[in-house]
Amino acid sequence: MTEKLFLENSYLKEFEAEVVNVQDKYIILDKTLFYPKSGGQANDTGTLTRIKDNKEFQVIYVAKINDDISHEINEAGLKVNDKVKGKINWNRRYKLMRLHTAAHVLDYVFHEDNGILITGNELNEDKGRIDFNLKEFSKEKVQNYIDKANSIIEKNLEVKNYYLKKEDALKIPGIIKLAKATPPDLPVLRITEISGLDIQADAGTHVKSLKEIGKIILLGIENKGKDRKRVYYDVVNK
């Protein structure tokens, strides 16, 4: 099982680890800061440097395989027991953190309006995308939601992560905001809470306070059919 360092501290940028499994260009480490593509959030990229000779490998894709995390590197060469230093692409990671926390603020604003739920989402470095089960849909209506979200961001609420037993977490209203989603089959759930505002089961990376998001801007909307309306957004520095 790969120790997932990013779950404990999203702000760490470098780490040291040992290679425990190699399949050509696919590497499993005993621990990692690299977030795998999961839950709609894009994977981290960066480098792994072999400590004994400073040979550097580019990490181009990261995936979750059961309890392990696989790192695809640009060329074969690493071997089991190699010690490596990992470094994530911080600019990419931090942008994804801001987009992800912004998504939770948007989820809250939409959900407060007649219990609107998420039907899909995708977070990439250049933009975020969220699908909602909206019936009435217009650019003006969505912009109103965006404005409400930006007003909340101005309050600079704290964002914190912690763990709860599944049975306790499921007693919290709105803990799962994804339509037709079932709770993860785990005894303990990781929780992301925006203090006094929103609480969700979540295993992604987030900023520590809303001010770090900056400002949410609307990039566009798209009607994907009945009860599936798509919103594209980005976050910019104020």
Could you identify the residue written with the tokens 């980005």?
234
Domain 3-88 is found in CATH 3.40.50.970: no
Q: What is the pLDDT of residue 137?
A: 84
pTM as predicted: 0.95
Q: What is the pLDDT of residue 181?
A: 60
CA angle 147, 119, 215 (to 5 degrees): 25
Q: What is the pLDDT of residue 5?
A: 98
Domain-by-domain residue ranges, the chain?
A: 3-88, 93-236
Closest CA to 142 of 212, 197, 223: 223
Q: What is the pLDDT of residue 151?
A: 98
Helix (H) or strand (E) holding 108: helix 90-112
Q: What is the pLDDT of residue 227?
A: 78
Q: Enumerate residue ranges in the chain where pLDDT < 70.
A: 178-183
Q: What is the pLDDT of residue 122?
A: 97
Q: What is the pLDDT of residue 174?
A: 77
160: which 2 tokens? Answer: 């914190």
Closest CA to 98 of 192, 211, 13, 182: 211
Helix H segments across the chain? Answer: 90-112, 139-153, 166-169
Q: What is the pLDDT of residues 175-184, one digit of tens each?
A: 877 655 656 7
CA dist 124 and 197 (Å) reads 25
Q: What is the pLDDT of residue 115?
A: 84
Closest CA to 117 of 138, 132, 101: 132
What is the CATH architecture assignment of 93-236?
A: 2-Layer Sandwich (3.30)
Asked if residues 178 and 103 have their Cβ atoms less than 8 Å apart, the reply is no
CA dist 209 and 203 (Å) reads 17
Closest CA to 206 of 64, 95, 121: 95
